[in-house]
Amino acid sequence: MKMNWRNIAALALFAAASVTAGTAAAADIKEVHFGVEASYAPFESKSPSGELQGFDIDVGNAVCAKLKAKCVWVENSFDGLIPALQARKFNAINSDMTITDQRRQAIDFTDPIYTIPNQMIAKKGSGLLPTPASLKGKHVGVLQGTIQETYAKARWAPAGVDVVPYQTQDQIYADLASGRLDAAFQDAEAAAKGFLKKPQGAGFEFAGPAVTDEKLLGAGVGFGIRKGDKALKDALNQALKELKADGTIDRFAAKYFDVKVVLK
């Protein structure tokens, strides 16, 4: 289709306005409301005084500082984070949420920030392994809405494993310690810092090797964003890129984790 000079001029003005609007939208971000499930140390938990703390909290606050925006934290159960994001209760999910194809059908994600091994814990000497044969007839706790729940229900439940979903990780640890569960399946760092290295976790250990399955367990953690929210996604990605480049996120990781987790 041919265009006369008026068509071309109008198109140029529209393009310029679009670029300006996009830049303005990113610059106009005054607050970032992050959805978080606050019982998953060392990623996010509460101090004795009730303050949010953890790796994801530090990263989120650093991102807000880069954007010269205020961080607002909205607590929510993990399995309700995606529906709450879609319902606009907050702008982004920042709660150790792994990027998977299934989740991408509902929401978008920033670039991956870090990756953590997934591992099972059980009583010392139990001999349990993260396999269907070893876990048949056993009770395994998982956090609702997590990749660990998806994996356990897909790979273990059909073989007769009782996969028990919980609304908070703290409830899983309590039932594991009391003997109501035979094992729990979660991020390895969450298990180490939130349970094994605490008095409650005495007598427990990692049971078997880390579990890998890129289709179900994904390959990295990012911030969850509503589909179509390009200005926020671009702003968050730029802030994360700068925080990786200047070593800030590596420093946070060294503070909380025993292994290298930051993805470049």
**Greater model confidence, 156 or 16:** 156
User: What is the average pLDDT score of the chain?
Assistant: 89
* pTM of the full structure: 0.77
> What average pLDDT does this structure show over 173-188?
97
Would you mind telling me the total number of residues written for the chain in this entry? 264
Among 118-122, 205-209, 220-224, 254-258, which stretch is predicted with the lowest mean pLDDT? 254-258
> What average pLDDT does this structure show over 197-220?
93
**Greater model confidence, 259 or 41:** 41
Measured CA to CA, the distance from residue 131 to residue 211 in angstroms comes to 9
Instruction: Please tell me the predicted confidence (pLDDT) of residue 15.
Output: 33
Answer yes or no: is pLDDT of 189 > 50: yes
**110-128: pLDDT as tens digits:** 999 999 899 999 999 999 9
In the structure, what pLDDT confidence band is assigned to residue 151 with cuts at 50, 70 and 90?
very high
**6-35: pLDDT as tens digits:** 333 333 333 333 333 333 355 689 999 999
Cβ-based neighbours of 2, under 8 Å, separated by 6 or more: none
Listed residue (146, 155, 176) closest to 81, CA to CA = 146
Answer yes or no: is pLDDT of 92 > 50: yes
Structural domains for the chain = 30-114+221-256 (3.40.190.10), 118-217 (3.40.190.10)
Instruction: Please tell me the predicted confidence (pLDDT) of residue 26.
Output: 54
